[in-house]
């Protein structure tokens, strides 16, 4: 496999083409942004940790039958993934009230939810990724009915697996964001794409409640790199 030209650069990752049109290289940067790019910074070795954590989580999900874009981790900062056409939705799964849910609905952060809640946000930076309903998704053609049933079912299955996985290492999986894509090679096949890492999850220590995720950066809590490394360490990755 040969690395070719840069195809796309996002806030935390870069995608490179390869000599196989169905596969791309996902490179993880240390750059960190929050509030849709308003706050910017860098977290030491974040790219290395997120590559490790996301590779392992995608591997675990793949092993239990969740289709993912992940093929292999190539080196410290890169992984080989299947090329997809991203569904323009951020699929947020919540087990505990936090972040924008707490603000929007006037609830206390930390309130457990009686069952997981799946929310859909339209991926549009200019609009600040607004919360949307299934009707919006259908009417504007972002995904069809069948795709949305699959996405929501996969989100719940992923949640069951990840909740148990993190509980085992003393971490409360509060909420996280998933993205799905259609394989370029097989457009009817939906797979989990992007990443699952402390950038895209809220992870709280089960005993102390300490935040082990990007909220440390968003809220200027300090110890950001250490928190990311702690997640990797508990996963047996460092
Ligand atoms: P929120 O409470 O800000 O809506 O975030 C919910 C979860 O989604 C949280 O774990 C962080 C993650 N997230 C992202 O990965 N990217 C984003 O752009 C946003 C807004 C949230
Ligand atoms: N990912 C978003 C940004 O880059 C928001 C966030 O994670 O808080 O600004």
The mean pLDDT of 143-172, rounded to a whole number, is: 98
**Domain boundary residue among 60, 84, 108?**
84
Mean pLDDT value across residues 159-184: 98
Residue 72 lies in a domain: yes
Q: 223's torsion region: left (phi>0), alpha (psi -120 to 50) or beta?
A: left
Protein residue with its CA nearest to atom 6 in ligand 2: 34
Query: Based on the domain organization, do 57 and 92 belong to the same domain?
Result: no
Ligand with an atom nearest the CA of residue 32:
2
Provide the CATH number for the domain around residue 41: 3.30.200.20
| Residue 38 sits in the same domain as residue 127 | no
Q: Which residues on adjacent β-strands are paired with residue 42? A: 31
DSSP 8-state symbol, 68: B
Q: Centre a 10 Å sphere on the Cβ of residue 94 and count the other Cβ atoms it contains.
A: 20
CA of 120 to the centre of ligand 1 (A): 11
Give 45-69 pLDDT, tens digit per residue.
999 999 999 999 999 999 999 999 9
Q: How confident is the model at residue 27 (pLDDT cuts 50, 70, 90)?
A: very high
Please tell me the distance from the alpha carbon of residue 106 to that of residue 197, in angstroms, as a whole number. Answer: 27
Between CA 192 and CA 62 the distance in angstroms is 10
Instruction: Tell whether ligand 2 has an atom less than 6 A from the beta carbon of residue 11.
Output: yes
Surface-to-core class of residue 33, CB atoms within 10 Å of its CB (0-12 exposed, 13-18 middle, 19+ buried): middle
Same domain, 51 and 130: no
What distance in Å separates the CA atoms of residue 188 and residue 185, rounded to the nearest whole number?
Answer: 9
How far apart are the CA of 176 and the centre of ligand 1, in A?
Answer: 6
- CA distance linking residue 8 with residue 119, whole number of Å: 26
Please check whether residues 80 and 95 belong to one and the same domain. no
Q: What is the pTM of this model?
A: 0.98
- Would you state the pLDDT for residue 33? 98
Q: Are residues 54 and 146 in the same domain?
A: no
Mean pLDDT of the chain: 98
Is residue 238's pLDDT more than 90? no
Q: Do 7 and 114 belong together in one domain? A: no
Residue 109 pLDDT greater than 90, yes or no: yes
Based on the fold, state whether residues 167 and 132 are members of the same structural domain: yes
If asked whether residues 97 and 22 sit together in one domain, one would say no
pLDDT band at 204 (very low <50, low <70, confident <90, very high): very high
Q: Do 121 and 200 fall into the same domain?
A: yes
CA of 4 to the centre of ligand 1 (A): 31
Is the shortest distance between the CB of 100 and ligand 2 below 6 Å? no
CB 81 within 8 A of CB 124: no
H or E element that contains 88: none
Instruction: Pick from 9, 10, 11 the residue to mutate for probing ligand 2's pocket: most ligand atoms within 8 Å of its CB.
Output: 11
Q: Residue 141 has what pLDDT?
A: 98
Q: Is the CB of 201 under 6 A from ligand 1?
A: yes
What domain range includes position 15? Answer: 3-84
Asked, for residue 229, whether it belongs to a domain, the answer is no
- Tell me how many domains the chain contains: 2
Please provide residue 12's backbone torsions phi and psi, each rounded to the nearest 5 degrees: -120, -10
CA dist., res. 4 & res. 17, Å (int): 5
Residues 183 and 119 placed together within one structural domain of the fold:
yes
Mean local confidence (pLDDT), 87-92:
99
Q: Do 81 and 23 touch, CB atoms closer than 8 A?
A: yes
Residue 40 contacts residue 33 (beta carbons within 8 Å): yes
The per-residue pLDDT for 164 is: 98
Domain-terminating residue out of 23, 52, 84: 84
Q: Are residues 97 and 215 in the same domain?
A: yes
How sure is the predictor about 130, in pLDDT bands with cuts at 50, 70 and 90?
very high
User: Cα separation of 176 and 93, whole Å?
Assistant: 6
Q: Does residue 159 share a domain with residue 90?
A: yes
Q: Is 189 in the pocket of ligand 2 (CB under 6 A)?
A: no
Q: In this structure, which ligand is nearest to the CA of 34?
A: 2
In this predicted structure, the answer to whether residue 188 has a pLDDT above a threshold of 90 is: yes
Does 35 fall in a domain?
A: yes
Which ligand is nearest the CA of 37, by number? 2
Q: Would you say residue 104 lies in a domain?
A: yes
């Amino acid at each position: 496999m040969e690395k070719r030209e840069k195809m796309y650069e996002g806030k935390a990752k870069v995608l490179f083409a390869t000599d196989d049109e169905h596969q791309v290289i996902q490179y993880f940067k240390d750059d960190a942004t929050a509030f849709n790019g308003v706050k910017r910074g860098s977290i030491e070795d974040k790219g290395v940790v997120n590559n490790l954590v996301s590779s392992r989580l995608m591997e675990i999900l793949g092993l239990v039958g969740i289709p993912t874009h992940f093929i292999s981790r190539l080196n410290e900062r890169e992984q080989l993934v299947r090329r997809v056409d991203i569904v323009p939705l951020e699929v947020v799964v919540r087990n505990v009230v936090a972040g924008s849910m707490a603000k929007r609905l006037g609830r206390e952060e930390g309130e457990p939810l009686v069952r997981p809640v799946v929310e859909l946000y339209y991926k549009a930076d200019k609009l600040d990724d607004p919360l949307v309903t299934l009707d919006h998704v259908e009417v504007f053609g972002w995904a069809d009915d069948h795709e949305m049933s699959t996405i929501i079912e996969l989100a719940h299955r992923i949640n069951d697996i990840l909740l148990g996985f993190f509980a085992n290492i003393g971490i409360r999986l509060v909420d996280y964001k998933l993205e799905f894509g259609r394989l370029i090679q097989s457009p009817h096949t939906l797979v989990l794409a992007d990443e699952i890492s402390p950038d895209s999850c809220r992870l709280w220590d089960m005993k102390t409640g300490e935040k082990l995720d990007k909220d440390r950066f968003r809220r200027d809590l300090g110890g950001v790199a250490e928190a990311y490394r702690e997640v990797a360490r508990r996963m047996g990755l460092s």
